[in-house]
Amino acid sequence: MIARAKRRCFHSLRFRFFASVALAAAVFVIVMIVLNLLFFHSYYLLQKKNRLTYVYNRINEQYNGDISILDEKIKQLENRDNIRISIVNDYGEYIYDTIFARDRSFGWYNALTQNPFGKTLYVYDSNELEQKGYTFSTLNDPDGSTAYLALLGRLDTGDMLLLRIPTAALRENQSLNFVFLMISGLISLSACLLAGYFIGKRYTRPVIEMTEVANSVAKLDFSKKYTGSHNDELGELGRSINQMSDYLETAISDMQEMNRQLQIEIDEKQRIDDMRREFIINVSHDLKTPIALIQGYAEGLRVGINESEEDKNYYCDIIIDEAHRMNHLVRQLLDLSKIELGNIVPEKTDIEAYELAEAVVSKTQVMWQEKQLNIDMSGIGPQLLHGDYDLLERALLNYMTNAIDHTPEYGHISIFTTEDSCHLLLCVRNQGSRLNPEEMDKIWDKFYKLDKSRTRVSGGGSGIGLSIVRAIMTAHHGGCGVRNVEDGVEFYLSLPKNTETV
């Protein structure tokens, strides 16, 4: 882990920027030192030679053999440039010398007059002297104490001019310059390193921030945004990354929503396919029994199993009953399909709730009287239901027959109305066993049947009755439902209020 962190540090943009600045500063300092070591001496000599040449030309232009004319000028040159000047005539006699002009002692005079140039010059180029009028060389004082860079030139008057500058200053300047360059180089290098660190930190911070944003986007985390305020290319890049993050977030959200919708459609298609297969199975199962009975009794009649007229009539009655049962199932399926497809449009009118309930109770009188049930309609109010009378009667009839089937003998069934701000509810409550909560949504599906002990569907147990109820109420833009109550179950029809009639 530590080694990986070190590798990441060494490969980071900040470290490479800092290293580049450090390397450039180090190269600059090294080049300066090398140039100083290699070329400072030659450069210094070149500048001094150019100065000696300039002084030679000035003296040659102004000197006419009378040294008094140049006395002040020569002193200025000597003091300003530290140049020692000597002029010798053709006979080897000194006309002027810097040291002799200051110290006219006999020793100096004797030394100068007895030793003009010849033994003091180490070497000089006589050909250059003849061609250019001057040449350069090196020499020492008569006592050998000081070395000089010298210019030996012939003046237009025929006299010889010797200009010399001490070279000790050159060696001293070169040493001091080298030490100064070393110190200034180290200081400059340190300053460059420090500046490189802070500059690199300043310019790499937005890059690091943008890298974090890009990594978050790669992980589909769009919460991080670039927050820099730079107005340069880095700022534009950061804002572009933010825009890209927003676009990707929107695109991915849209794609996820499309995938969700597609999954819903796939699930719905699968549900419809399952319902279709289940529908075929259920219809086949519900038709198989009556068809088998009809076929069996018809074959018995044909072969004459029973000779008596009473048995023949019994067989015919069974065949007729089973045919009616099949016809009832097929008609229920056709009616359900018509309602669901919108082929049956409710013809809405204002209906008294009590009148509708009374008609249903009357039609089922034989059934509830057979079980000696108590029917209570005292809870029905004066409300008017706005809907199709026949369809609502059929829906309420399904509820009533289910209630009769599942109410124990001597039990109680109540029909009543209630309302809220937007809907009128017509309810049928019966004593008996409750429904499991997970079954309350499934009982409205076609052919859904509970266990035999609590089959809550109408139409001879076909499992279509409650599906027809739901289709009827959907056509009325209403609803239907069921809830468990203290001593049984309550089914209800919900209709929107007719504000015009109210």
pLDDT digit string, tens, across residues 48-94: 889 899 989 988 888 888 877 777 787 787 788 788 888 888 777 77
pLDDT (0 to 100) of residue 172: 67
pLDDT tens per residue, range 361-417: 998 898 899 999 999 999 998 889 999 998 899 899 889 998 998 899 999 999 999
State the amino acid at position 410 in one-letter form.
Answer: Y
Contact of 431 with 299, CB cutoff 8 Å = no
pLDDT (0 to 100) of residue 70: 77
Distance CA 5, CA 234 (A): 26
Looking at residue 121, the DSSP 8-state letter turns out to be: B
Q: Give 119's pLDDT tier (boundaries 50, 70, 90).
A: very low
pLDDT (0 to 100) of residue 282: 66
Out of 189-193, 268-272, 444-448, 497-501, the most confident range is 268-272
Whether residue 461 is predicted with pLDDT greater than 60 in this model: the reply is: no
Pinpoint the residues of the chain covered by CATH 3.30.565.10: 345-496
Q: Residue 435 pairs with which residues in a beta bridge?
A: none
Distance CA 117, CA 252 (A): 98
Map residue 380 onto helix, strand or coil. coil
pLDDT tens per residue, range 276-324: 776 676 667 667 767 777 777 777 777 766 667 777 777 787 788 778 7
Task: Strand 374-379: give its sheet, edge to edge.
Answer: 374-379, 412-419, 423-431, 488-496, 479-485
Q: Give 103's pLDDT tier (boundaries 50, 70, 90).
A: very low
pLDDT (0 to 100) of residue 41: 77
pLDDT (0 to 100) of residue 458: 39
Q: Which CATH architecture is the domain 63-166 placed in?
A: 2-Layer Sandwich (3.30)
Residue-averaged pLDDT of the chain: 78
Q: Indicate the pairing of strand 412-419 with strand 374-379.
A: parallel
Pinpoint the residues of the chain covered by CATH 3.30.450: 63-166
Task: Strand 134-140: give its sheet, edge to edge.
Answer: 94-97, 84-88, 160-166, 147-154, 134-140
More confident residue, 47 or 307: 47
Q: Give 427's pLDDT tier (boundaries 50, 70, 90).
A: very high
Distance CA 7, CA 472 (A): 74
**pLDDT, average across residues 246-264:** 87
How many CB atoms lie under 10 A from the CB of residue 245?
A: 20
Is the pTM for the entire model greater than 0.85?
A: no
Whether residue 345 is predicted with pLDDT greater than 50 in this model: the reply is: yes
**pLDDT, average across residues 221-242:** 78
pLDDT tens per residue, range 125-155: 788 888 888 988 877 665 555 678 889 899 8
Q: Give 493's pLDDT tier (boundaries 50, 70, 90).
A: very high
Q: What is the CATH number of domain 345-496?
A: 3.30.565.10
Distance CA 224, CA 175 (A): 60
Percent of the chain having pLDDT more than 90?
15
Contact of 129 with 152, CB cutoff 8 Å = yes
pLDDT (0 to 100) of residue 234: 73
pLDDT (0 to 100) of residue 415: 94
pLDDT (0 to 100) of residue 145: 55
Q: Give 116's pLDDT tier (boundaries 50, 70, 90).
A: very low
pLDDT (0 to 100) of residue 164: 85
Whether residue 124 is predicted with pLDDT greater than 50 in this model: the reply is: yes
Whether residue 110 is predicted with pLDDT greater than 50 in this model: the reply is: no
pLDDT (0 to 100) of residue 169: 65
Whether residue 248 is predicted with pLDDT greater than 80 in this model: the reply is: yes
pLDDT (0 to 100) of residue 462: 60
